[in-house]
Structure formats: structure tokens, C-alpha cells
Amino acid sequence: MTEDTAVAIESRSGLGNVLVATKAFKPGDVVVCEQPLLHVPQLKPSNPLYKPLQAYFESHGIPASVVLKLLACFSASSAEQSRVLACGSPDPAAFADAAVVKQAQLFAGLLLEHPPVPDFLELVDSACKQQQQQQLQEEEEALDAQQQDEAEVGGKQQQQQQWGPHDLLVKLWLVWVTNGHSFRQGSALFHFGSKLTHTCAAPNTAYRTASGDTAPVHGLGAGDSSNAQQQLGPARPTAAAAAGYHVALSDIQPGDLLTTNYLGLGHKRLMSTPARQQLLQSKFLFKCTCDRCTKQRDLAHGIPCPACSGPFRADDKLLQEDVALPEQQQQQQQQQQLVAAEAGGSSGTQCGFVYCDMQQLLAGTAQPWQCEQCGERFADNLQELWGRYYARSYATIEGDMEAWVMRLDESVDDTPLVRVPSKLHERVVGIVRLLGPRHWAAWRLLLIGTEMHCGVLEQALLQHKLSPASPPVVPAVDASTAPTEQQQQQQQPDRQTVVQETAAAAAGWVVRYCQCLWRHISSVYGEIEAGQLLGYHFAEASQVRVCSC
């Protein structure tokens, strides 16, 4: 479905096979539109394989989705299998310690030892033979066309992939893990879609489906609630309903590399460079070398400056609450003080934050960290940056907080936000005061708090509509007499009052969290990019604010 004149596949050093534009595109234009190579729908109870695969999962621990995706590959023709393998995946030997590779090795061994369906081993052997025959045919065609000399042909024969059953299963599963797209309540592999290059910076395309679903991401976690995207306009009808496409997010010129973000356009873009690279390497088995990871300041990893944040510390050495998470009135006062200080030619009295310049860090500069407020420079020693105020190690301070936020993030993705954990606000304030309001973990926690309080507000508003009318007013009685049971019930707050107070408190925290996020993220990324980063979350928060007015 993709026109040959619109995109082309090229091989580039360090990137492998990539997709480039051969014509110009404007924001909103469809760049790539194609039907999937393979589509595996969600397994439903009506499927004859539902009960057998559920029993297999209980016995051997391999999810039904894994078996279905591999069976889809084996059911395809030899040419289709070759195109699936051409989607590309990293060499398992180069990432032998990665959890994804270990999982693939484990699954392959169990599947061969305990076949999930009859004739499974025959299907695997047949696929291996087909791939070997396909490779021999390609070699013969290359010889007939005289496209390679004898030395090159010999080298190719030496490097020929020997498809054994175990290796083929590992390869196919890694293809699904690193290239799968969410598609029509299932998963799919795309020929062109698998060639788009990842970037942590602003990508020039985003994936959508013809049904109008929001853009999912690549890989095994495609379709998670955490990867919800901003709407890119109404669904675009295509010649075939079963199609996925990539829409342009910015101006694209002929020859431009087509990029997307494997982590989606949601909150994971707000992660720091080390956290983001760790996530990409664990899930997609590559180390990102985009401009944001190698040439820019890590704006999501702002640490309170050891040199100039001292006056803003409380007795417990944490940042004062009105500095880390000010209320609206305090924000306005701080902004007025800053404007007045700038008008007077001074730097103002605000807490400074240090950032790491990734280009200087990779170049071996002695002091790649610098404070935006006082200009003080620091070496790449996180223990030194945190050591002035905390005697504990960096891993205990920052590493533990990041790990806790990521665990909370995963639990939020897996379960709906039906209630706010006890003392959530105290935890939010504590971590923001500890890490500072320019740290990605603090931002994510504020977003989680916003989402949870939005859920509380929705429930409170629903209860307010369904709650019965307030009890009738009881006439006053002589004060000298003891209060009757009816008077005691009257003195207790009625249900509507409790619901209204709950809604007001939730709305207040939503507004406070959002104001803090906007203030700090827009100050480091600019208002336009901050609006893109926070648009999805603020759309829900704005509805909360309107409802609470």
C-alpha cells in the first residue's frame, strides 16, 4: 500500500536498514501505510486453542501470545518468513546477559522439549529447511547476475546463517519483541514499519492504525496504557481497513531519515538519558546514539546545585516544600521576585540546578555538569553532587528513589487507578524535596499523583450525583437538655458534604501538581515542547479543573 516513490529502504553504517523519505511531507501527511506481514489477534475464549494454551501456560509458564506469534510465523509462506526475519533483531550473542534474550532462550528450550500443539516440531523443522533453501536460491541468483565476485561469494557462504530449530525460535521471538506493533487488539509485524529508526528527541513520524486507535509503540509492551499517545487527528480511511500507518509530525524533506520513538510520545520521553538508555537496552537490545543521548544537555536530570541550593534547604537538609512544590500564590511571588531580580541585573534568589552535557561527558571533559544559576561546574561524580547534604551513597538516595518510581509506574500501567494510596501526597512531596523538581522521577511521580487524583475526583463527582438528598433540618432544642440521637446524627457531616470536600481536595492537588510540572518542564524544554510532552496528561487535568469549578 506504500508507494515506491514515497519511501525507500537504505543501508546506513551503524543503523543497518533504515527508511528514508523520497518526497516531501507536511505535518499530518501519511508517510507510510501498509498491511501487516503478520497479524496475531488477541486470544479469545471462542478460539479452539484457548483452553489448550491456557493449560500449557499453567504447566510450563509460556504465555499463549508467545505460542500464537510463533505459530503465525510457521504458518506463513517461505517468502513471508524471509520478510519477517528481514525485520531485523540484534544478535543474541551480543546481549547474552539481557533478560529478553535469556527469556527467549528459555522459551525456545521449553517449546522444543514440550511442544505446545501437535506437529509443532514438524513446523519448526520445515521452517528451518525453507530458510536454508531460500538462502541457497538467493546465492544462485546472485551468481547468475554476477553481482559479486568469487571472493565475496565465498565470504557470504562462510557467514551463511545455519538455521537450527533452537536458533530459529530465538530469532523469531526477538523479532516480535523488538518490532511488534499494537494492532486491532492484537500484535502485528510490518515490513516498512520495522525499518523506522528510533530517536529519543522529537521524532518526525508516529504510528497509528486505520481504525483511529492512538499510536502504540514498538516491542513487546506495545499497547500499554503508559504508552498512550496524543491524538494526531481523526482516523484516516484507507483502501483496506486492516492497515497501520505512520503520520508525519513535522516537515520532512526528500532524503530525511524517518524516525519514531519506540517508547511512545507519553511520559517515558521525560526520563533522563541514563534511565532511558537502560530501558531501551533492556527492551530493544540497543544503545541509543541519537542527538538527545549524545549531544545535548540531559534536561530531565536536574540535580539541586551543591553550591547555591543551601539557602533553600530546611533543617532536614531537604529542599523547602515551598521551593520544591509551591502553591499557586507562592509560585506567583517567586516569579515576581525573579522578574525584579532580572530587571535589577542580578541572578535572582532561586534554587539552581546542575545538568550534564552529554557531548562533553562523552568527549571526556573533566567537568561536564554545570549549574544554570551560579555557573559552577562539577565532575561526573554523582556521589560528590549529592554528598554535601547526604552522607548516604548515591545508589541509596537517587537510585532507590528512581527504582521505586519505576516499580510504581509499572503497577499503574498494569492496574487501573481506582484509588489513591494512603499518604500519597506526603510521598510525592518527600521525593520532590529530595530529588528536586527538575528530576524525571519527581515529574513521573507528580503525573501519577495527577492521574490518581483525577480518578478520585471522577468517583466523587459520580457519588455526588447519585447521593441522596441531605437529611431534613431538625428544629433546635433546649441547650440544657442532652442531645438526642437525631441531633447527634445531624451534627455529623452529611454524605454530600464529604463527597464535595473529597472532590475539592483532589482537584486542588491536581491543579498544584500540574502547575509545578508546567513551571519546571516549560522552563527547561520551552513552552512548545512542554505542551507536546504534557498535552495528553494536561488534557485530562484540564477536564478535572473545569469540573471542579
- At 529 the pLDDT is 76
- What pLDDT score was predicted for residue 375? 93
pLDDT number for residue 243: 84
Over the chain, what is the mean pLDDT? 78
End-to-end CA distance of the chain: 49
What is the model's pLDDT at position 415? Answer: 56
Q: What pLDDT does 545 receive?
A: 42
Q: Is the dihedral of CA 107, 108, 110, 115 positive or negative?
A: positive
User: What is the structure's pLDDT at 387?
Assistant: 78
How distant, in Å, are the alpha carbons of 72, 111, 190, 413 from that of 77? 10, 21, 16, 37
Q: What is the pLDDT of residue 213?
A: 47
pLDDT of residue 537: 58
DSSP 8-state secondary structure symbol assigned to residue 14: T
The pLDDT value recorded for residue 391 is 66
The list of the chain residues with pLDDT below 70 reads 1-5, 138-139, 141-162, 210-242, 328-349, 391-395, 413-422, 463-496, 535-549
Express each pLDDT in 338-390 by its tens digit: 444 444 444 446 789 999 999 999 999 999 999 999 999 999 988 888 877 77
pLDDT value, residue 156: 43
Q: What is the pLDDT of residues 426-452, one digit of tens each?
A: 888 888 999 999 999 999 988 888 888
Torsion region of 524: left, alpha or beta (phi above 0 gives left; psi -120 to 50 gives alpha): alpha
Answer whether 450's CB lies under 8 Å from 334's CB.
no
Of the candidates 298, 320, 284, the residue with the CA atom closest to the CA atom of residue 436: 320
- For residue 474, report the phi and psi dihedrals to the nearest 5 degrees: -90, 135
Residue 450 is predicted with a pLDDT of: 84
> What are the pLDDT digits (tens) for 263-290?
887 788 889 999 999 999 888 998 899 9
Q: What is the pLDDT of residue 543?
A: 47
In angstroms, rounded to a whole number, what is the distance separating the alpha carbons of residues 443 and 517? 7
Please tell me the distance from the alpha carbon of residue 433 to that of residue 325, in angstroms, as a whole number: 8
